[in-house]
Amino acid sequence: MIIGTAGHIDHGKSALVQALTGRAMDPLAEERRRGITVDLHFAPLDLGGGRVAGMVDVPGHEDLIRTMVAGAAGVDLVLLVVAADEGIMPQTREHLAIVEQLRIPAGIPVLTKADLVEPDWLAMVQSEVTAWLAGSPVRFAPAIATSAVTGAGLDRLREAIAASGTLRAREREDLFRLPVDRALSLPGVGTVVTGTAWSGTLRVGDAVTLLPGGAEARVRSLERHGEVVSETAPGDRVAAGLAGIDREQVRRGDVLVHKDDPWRASTALDVSVELLPTAPRPLVHHARVRLHLGTVEVLARVQALDPLAPGRNGVVRLALERPLVARGGDRFVLRSYSPVSTIGGGWVLDPMPSPGRPRWPEGITDPAPIARLRALVSRRPARLELELVPVVLGVSPREATQVVRSSGLVVGPSHLVTNEAVASATEAALSLVAGHHRAHPVETGMPLETLRQGLSRKGPAAEIAIDRLVSGHSLLVEGGMVRSPEFRPRVAGGDALVDRVVRAIELAGLTPPAAAELEAELKTRGVLDALRLAARDGRVEAVERDRYFSRAALAGFREAVSRVAARGPITPQALRDETGISRKFLIPLLEWSDRTGLTVRTGDARMLGRHNGMTAGGG
């Protein structure tokens, strides 16, 4: 469990933590000189029974809110500190607003400096704090009065903390993520990063990556709440010694993750925003804001259809001025750019939105994971990588698998797509194939690769659609060509034209006319298509691009080649004497015989090839 402090400057947060843990909370010379906390400080708190919680002490000065938010991120229990002699102050109110926007599960109001006030005054402040917190979304326990000087109330506070238990459900088998709040270099250890493990486990020897920069390292050592361990759990306060990375490569706001997990840095977030009633102005399109998420602060521009009034909720896109790592469901705080003040917060709907104008489908803000997943897939457009589901939905891989199974979405080899996307791709595929049949009736079908290219804009839904059409026999694939089951290649003149063309070629023997010549001779069109169709049936064969020979003529030519070969070298002159045909027909036939293996050329002559006995195949 991680316990954080919050409250106005000089209300005794550091003194309270020191009194509870026995650890000094002012290690920096500047802090001792100024008498205020200027950075985050951490200490273990022994809860008894072998349980140890991590305590985070945050600065209370208004100029250090950024640091306070970084410390509050990932906290399970907040100690909202109010000095009994001053009561609720401006930074108390702002810190509460931040705690509420981060949806820290529970809190304990702690009235410090109780030794400085009379009992009646203390009772009045306690009543005021109780009434103020009554409507808070954070589940606050009754206020506890304490004194770091006399020790009054500290035992009762420790009991209340111990009784609160672990307040966030964190699954060990989730993706590991640790927002870095500090980095340092230690002799004999090297670079050390510290932070609260938001999810998952980390082990010594793990390969890790620091995002968004992408620097890679290996976990050399681990400490949890100051104790050397070999493995950490979600919610632990962690110090990780990293090998292979320099201290200068790390800064607060980076996120430590496992190298092979599907985390990605984003330059835009689609979010649900709750603007505080005290916000000074509406949130409008192109407004510049400060986004606090985890331990990082990033400037962003708002992209909104309509202004969002103070006290209202709405959905907007935040265009980030530098990348960060986020997950669906992450809570964040929004502060105005200038003058700086907390204006609201919210939660991440989509940490990796598609470029272009955002769409807000029904279900995108639904707390139910199934409804939200359907919306996330439908806006991508209509596809989502399976490995990204735990990140965009904000659930563990185990739960992501269950949600996917129950979603009714179509699961491809590596993507999720909507049924609507598959239906659209199916319709488009059938239309493309039918169109190809109309435009090229003589061809056996459409090249499968051409169909895939025609559906490329449909994304993964295209392959799913093609697979379903083929497995359901709505399309047939043969030899890399796809066709409708009822389609048969044909020419305009039908079988009668094919028969006329073949007869003409057969009658011409070894001197057949070219396609254009035959078209003029027969006084009809479509001769070349008829020849191609006849060639696929094996009735003729293309020796040149537009000149076809009958099977009988080619068989006669092979016999002539064999007779010449029996007498000596196969030369053009010898074959011309044997067949009586001119070079116009002879040279293409010789080239054809080389291609088919009937002959092998050696200089100006030829010899019989290894395939000289094979019959003519299709063109």
Are both 185 and 144 inside the same structural domain?
Answer: no
Beta bridge partners of 258: 208
Check whether residue 144 and residue 191 sit in a common domain: no
Backbone torsions φ then ψ of 513, nearest 5 degrees: -75, 155
DSSP 25: S
pLDDT at position 516 is: 92
CA distance 616 to 551: 7
Report if residue 107 sits inside a domain: yes
Domain residues for the domain of 135 are: 2-164
Q: What is the pTM of this model?
A: 0.76
HSE toward the beta carbon, residue 354, CA cutoff 13 A = 16
Report the CATH number at residue 91.
Answer: 3.40.50.300
How far apart are alpha carbons 255 and 195 in whole angstroms?
9
Q: Which of 223, 258, 293 lies at the terminal end of a domain, its last residue? A: 258
SS3 481: strand
Matching residue, tokens 């407004």? 287
Per-residue pLDDT, 166: 55
Within 8-74, strands assigned E span 41-48, 51-57
Do 7 and 131 have their domain in common? yes
Strand partners of residue 457: none
- Under 8 Å between Cβ of 471 and 477: no
Residue 495 lies in a domain: no
Tokens for 408?
Answer: 């009714």
Q: Are 561 and 593 in contact (CB under 8 A)?
A: yes
- Helix, strand, or coil (residue 254): coil
List of residues 6+ apart from 450 with CB closer than 8 A: 436
Check which CATH number belongs to the domain holding 546 and give it: 1.10.10.10
Distance CA 531, CA 68 (A): 82
CA distance linking residue 52 with residue 225, whole number of Å: 7
CA distances from 365 to 136, 404, 529 (A): 22, 18, 59
How many helical (H) and strand (E) elements, i.e. helices and strands, does the chain have? 18, 32
Give yes or no: residues 216 and 122 share one domain: no
In whole angstroms, give the CA distance from residue 344 to residue 314: 11
Token pair recorded at residue 479: 């030899």
Q: Are 104 and 331 in contact (CB under 8 A)?
A: no
Q: How far is the C-alpha of 356 from the C-alpha of 564, rounded, in Å? A: 73
Domain co-membership, 509 together with 588: yes
DSSP 8-class letter at 610: T
Closest CA to 217 of 194, 241, 199, 252: 241
Handedness of CA 144, 149, 154, 157 (dihedral sign): positive
Pairing of strands 231-232, 227-229: unpaired
Q: Return d(Cα 535, Cα 479) in angstroms, integer.
A: 16
Instruction: Single out the residue in 132, 164, 196 at which a domain terminates.
Output: 164
Mean pLDDT, each 10-residue run in order, the chain (619 residues): 85 88 62 48 80 75 58 81 93 90 92 94 95 94 94 93 71 91 86 92 96 95 89 90 92 94 96 95 96 93 95 96 96 92 95 91 94 93 88 95 94 90 95 92 89 92 94 93 89 81 94 93 85 88 94 95 93 93 94 93 87 47
- Distance of alpha carbon 412 from alpha carbon 468, whole angstroms: 11
Give phi and psi for 548, each to the nearest 5: -115, 150
CATH number at residue 208: 2.40.30.10
How many other CB atoms are there within 10 angstroms of residue 606's CB atom?
Answer: 23
Number of domains in the chain: 4
Is the residue at 313 inside a domain? no
Of 164, 185, 211, the domain-final residue: 164
